[in-house]
Amino acid sequence: MIERYSRPQMKEVWSERNKYEKWLQVELAACEAWHKEGLIPSDEMIKLRSATVNFEDIQEALKETRHELAAFLGSVTGSLGKEGRWVHQGLTTSDVWDTATSLQIVEALDIIDSEIASLLDALKVRAIEHKDTLIMGRTHGIHAEPTTFGLKLAIWWDETNRNRERISSARRSIAYGKISGPVGTHATAPPSIEAHVCDSLGLEPAPVSNQVIQRDRHAQFVTTLAIVAASLEKFATEIRGLQRTEIGEVQESFPEGQAGSSSMPHKRNPELSERVCGLSRLIRGHAVTALENVALWGERDISHSSSERVILPDACLALDYILNLFTGVIRDLHVDSDRMFENIESTRGVLFSQRVLLALVENGAPRDEAYSVVHTEAMKSWDNKSDFRDLIRSNDYVSSCLSSVNIDELFDYRFYTRYVDEIFSRVGLE
């Protein structure tokens, strides 16, 4: 991921230095396990615990070895004496790599979970704030019936809660290690070694493996990130739509001095939400690659390895970035409730068409007749720019079924919001 979209904490998780430190943790945990089994003498185990890894040494060794783990092992053993012979005892590259990668992913998911928690807090505050703020609901991009902006945000809050559950599930699924040797038979390291290593690192041992931890776990992880990103794009797309000049119901924060366009000084663009959308698409693309990585030849090939070097850090960095970015968008979002009501009224009451239809049916009118009458008056309102409410009041068929008082009651916006409190309570927003 480019520096522009990389936040420090997540960047550190996926740094080369952190990767090598995780590798060292795995190697030393294996040494401790062998010591427990009686293979490594206590005096040598004491010295092994002081092992270090040198980043620069690895980079230099790579020029010759062209094998990252071999270069790593050279650096580690170079920091030790004869006791260094026990490093990597009975292990294969994937034992170290996959187990350490699980540690990195768990770290990354904990950061993402924290960012989701912050987004939930922001959504909750704004949803409660605008629980009763009327906004036109739109289906197919066309005015439908009124809802509230708070209900719109409540949907996002509820969806984000589900995404947090998905992140938790992905964390449980990926928090596995393996120390089972070249093809998963434990021929060079018994299950007891694996159990000790995983327990000491806070992981579960993979119940069965070949040379690698099975990539369905990693696919679940990346696709979960993609689902979270897809939700963020959904929310951001709505903000972009509502910020359109013709609608103008919300607006991203636009601090003094910010430029919206290099050529048009008047512009205030929803650039943050657009950025969320763009990076969300990147993450979804990485999910496709993760799914392709599930199918490996035999007990393992390395077709997944090169792509994982890109998709795992990039997906985490991008999601971490847009989660934080969108939380700020929500916190600072300008909501124009007056404009919302103006837009509701801009269609001259046609939104009440279903309300009139239902009232006619409830008062004995055949549905097909009632629908035809209401539809005709609604089309007149659209075509002639007449107020639908006035057309209904003057319609003889309607007047024959409903009193003037009953008709006026149909045009009360409170009808559409009378269950808002109940919905908020049901979803847990109180």
DSSP letters, 388-400, are HHHHHHT-HHHHH
Question: Is-catalytic flag, 35?
Answer: no
Indicate the pLDDT class of residue 257, thresholds 50, 70 and 90. Answer: low
Q: What is the 8-class DSSP label of residue 387?
A: -
Mean pLDDT of the chain: 95
d(Cα 50, Cα 403) in Å, to the nearest integer?
90
pLDDT above 70 coverage of the chain, percent: 97
Percentages helix, strand, coil for the chain (3-state, rounded to 5) are 65, 5, 30
Residue 2 has pLDDT above 90, yes or no: no
- 216-244 pLDDT tens trace: 999 999 999 999 999 999 999 999 999 99
- 76-126 pLDDT tens trace: 999 999 999 999 999 999 999 999 999 999 999 999 999 999 999 999 999
**Catalytic residue selected from 42, 140, 266, 346:** 140
What is the per-residue pLDDT for 261? 53
For the chain, domains (ranges, CATH) are 92-253+262-341 (1.20.200.10), 350-410 (1.10.40.30)
Residue 251 main-chain phi, psi, to 5 deg: -155, 135
Residue 258 has pLDDT above 70, yes or no: no
- 34-49 pLDDT tens trace: 999 999 999 999 999 9
Cα→Cα distances 215→105, 211, 354, Å:
13, 11, 52
Close Cβ partners of 355 (under 8 Å, ≥ 6 residues apart): 410, 411, 415
> Any idea what the Cα angle at residue 144 is, between residues 142 and 145, rounded to 5°?
150
d(Cα 314, Cα 319) in Å, to the nearest integer?
8
Question: Is-catalytic flag, 140?
Answer: yes
**Catalytic residue selected from 50, 169, 253, 261:** 261
d(Cα 242, Cα 250) in Å, to the nearest integer?
6
Cα→Cα distances 327→1, 91, 289, 322, Å:
21, 44, 28, 8
Question: Helix or strand or coil: residue 10?
Answer: helix
What is the per-residue pLDDT for 253? 86
Q: Which token pair is 158?
A: 């509820």
Q: Which token pair is 267?
A: 């512009």
387 CB-contact burial (10 Å; exposed 0-12 / middle 13-18 / buried 19+)? middle
Residue 260 has pLDDT above 70, yes or no: no
Residue 269 has pLDDT above 90, yes or no: no
Close Cβ partners of 293 (under 8 Å, ≥ 6 residues apart): 215, 218, 219, 303, 304, 307, 308
Question: Helix or strand or coil: residue 66?
Answer: coil
Indicate the pLDDT class of residue 198, thresholds 50, 70 and 90. Answer: very high
244-275: burial string, b at 16+ Cβ within 10 Å, e else? eeeeebbbbebeeeeeeeeeeeeeebbebbeb
**pTM confidence score:** 0.93
pLDDT above 90 coverage of the chain, percent: 93
Residue 410 has pLDDT above 70, yes or no: yes
